[in-house]
Each structure stands twice: as structure tokens, then as C-alpha cells.
Amino acid sequence: VTCAKGLWRSFKRSLICETSLVDGKVAAVWGCGGTLLGQVGQPWMLTSGEIKKLSPIRVARFYTKQVDKMLEMFPRLENYVAVEHNDAIRLLTIAGFKIGEPEKFGQGMFRKFEMER
């Protein structure tokens, strides 16, 4: 799947979709997939180089608030993050997600992240 197709699918399948701009350029897009009557939400986030212009503390505070909004809709959040995305794993940890051990998923190595209300 191309990046553009993956992003389109994420937006299309999400109940929450947001975009953050820095100096008029996209810094991050994120959302949460799932079904209206479902119990599990699948949070996702993609960032560009523009995110580096923001303080990591500011990004962490903002993302934690977004996770709180997701938890208002779903009692459980879970998804996977690629093992090489150390900044994303750090952000997920700060936001309160439990990070699992690396495991093969599709053609790569990923770590499951999860949180419950």
C-alpha cells in the first residue's frame, strides 16, 4: 500500500480525523478508527518533518489530550507501531499506552500498543 493510499484508507475508516499545521504546512494527521457501537478504537498518526519545529513537550501534551478524546468514544484503544519509529513509541509511552514486545506483522516488525479507560 502506498503512503497516499494508506492515509486515505485511515481517514475513510476513522470516526475521528484531525490535521495539525505549522506555518501553513501539514505537521501531523491523526485519527481513530473503529465502529460507533464497537469497544475498541484504533488510533493512528502520521507526521511530517514540520513536527520537529514544535517542542516535544508541546506535542506530547497535545497528543495526550487527543488520546483522552479517543477514550471518551472507546473503552479500549489498540494498534501497532513499527519498531523503528522510536519517537512514536516514546510519544505513545508518554501518552500512557502499554507497549508490547516486537512481533512480526505482515512484512515488518511491529509493537502492539494498547490502553484501557
In the 3-class helix/strand/coil scheme, how is the chain assigned residue by residue? CCHHHHHHHHHHCEEEEEEEEECCEEEEEEEEECCCCCCEEEEEEEECHHHHHCCHHHHHHHHHHHHHHHHHHCCEEEEEEECCCHHHHHHHHHHCCEEEEEEEECCEEEEEEEEEC
pTM listed for this prediction = 0.89
- Tell me: the pLDDT tens digits for 26-71? 999 999 999 888 999 999 999 999 999 999 999 999 999 999 999 9
- Tell me: the pLDDT tens digits for 4-15? 887 888 888 899
- Tell me: the pLDDT tens digits for 69-91? 999 999 999 999 999 999 999 99
pLDDT of 70 reads 96
